[in-house]
Amino acid sequence: MTTSSLSEAPAAVTPVRKVTPRGVVRSEWLKFWSLRSSWIALAASLVVLLAFGVIAAATYGPPTAGNSDEGMSDGSSDAVSLALTGSPLVSLIVGSLGVLLVAGEYSTGMIRSTLTAVPRRLPVLFSKSAVVALLVLVLTAIGALVAFALGAVGLDGEKISLSLGDEGVLRSLLGFGVYMALVAAFGVALGALLRSPAGGISSLLGILMILPNLTSLLPDSLADALEPRFPSTAGEAMFSLHRSADSLSPGAGFVVFAGWVALALAAAAFRLKRTDV
């Protein structure tokens, strides 16, 4: 261990580079695109969104006495809600994508490589969320616009037909993209919290799909107060064209759902930072 032999070690003793947020984002970007499952999930969410939207619009018939639009929670169909018929399934797909991005690293052991490269850990969580949220935002917002445009063909001549310029339409379609982006980030948080693909996806399903149905177990007054503030009901308020009496406004829905996502991310950050890998 002499000084001369140390100085011979090339470059090893002069690391000028360092881990930067930009580098971590680039790394997560590459990690995202270099897995086949990411492509499949993005493609699936787009296909589901377009197919459901187009089919719902094409098969739409005005409500008659015996057929009052089952499936629409607030009972009133409009061109936007028809275009976004696939929303529950799309939210599961992009949420599962978020879960898999993190939980998949735990189940394969990749997380050890990831965290030895970025031992501060939190940049990994935030970069993953940002990358998947951004991609999902762009894809689902475009998908919603396309589904709406294609649906307009099917709805041509119907009373509920709308155009993009009508009040609230663009806001709803973009709000849908923002909701999906937040769902994807929510999935990342659940994946980091539970560290297991199965656990993450089932809790995502439970929180988004099953939780709102459990309100029937609560006293009515409590249920009425809580239900609009559940993650998925608050989130859906972000992209519904017409506000029903007991739901939040789009802005309030955004704040509440973003709050849930922030809470989940904070819990995930705590677990990531504090516990062994």
Interface with another protein by CB under 8 A: which residues? 1-2, 5-13, 15, 17-20, 23-24, 26-28, 30-31, 34-37, 104-105, 108-113, 115-120, 276-277
The nearest distance, CB 250 to another protein, in angstroms, is: 37
Geometric angle at alpha carbon 193, from 118 and 108, rounded to 5° = 60
d(CA 257, CA 238): 9
**Shortest approach of another protein to residue 187 CB, angstroms?**
17
> Minimum Å distance from CB 52 to another protein?
28
Find the shortest distance in angstroms from Cβ 39 to another protein.
11
* CA distances for 61 relative to 50, 78, 88, angstroms: 19, 12, 22
Name every residue whose Cβ is closer than 8 Å to that of residue 158 and which is 6 or more positions away in sequence: 60, 62
Task: Tell the smallest beta-carbon distance from residue 31 to another protein (Å).
Answer: 5
Measured CA to CA, the distance from residue 258 to residue 253 in angstroms comes to 8
Q: What is the DSSP code (8-state) at residue 18?
A: -
Closest CA to 195 of 115, 259, 102, 270: 102
Cβ proximity to another protein, 108 vs 213, nearer residue:
108
CA distances from 255 to 57, 104, 258 (A): 30, 29, 5
Nearest-5° Cα angle at 25, 272 to 136: 90
Choose between 23 and 63: whose C-beta lies nearer to another protein. Answer: 23
Is the Cβ of residue 6 or residue 266 nearer to another protein in the bound state? Answer: 6
| Nearer to another protein (CB atom), residue 116 or residue 221 | 116
Q: Considering beta carbons, is residue 117 or 210 the nearer one to another protein? A: 117
Contact between 42 and 139 under an 8 Å Cβ cutoff? The reply is: yes
Q: Nearest distance from residue 271's CB to another protein, in Å?
A: 13
In terms of CB distance, is 103 or 139 closer to another protein? 103
Least distance in angstroms from the C-beta of 32 to another protein: 10
User: Contact at 8 Å (CB) between 234 and 159?
Assistant: no
Distance of CA 157 to the CA centre of its chain: 34
Q: 122-154 and 250-274 are packed helices; what angle lies between their axes, rounded to 10 degrees?
A: 150
Comparison of 110 and 263: residue with beta carbon closer to another protein: 110
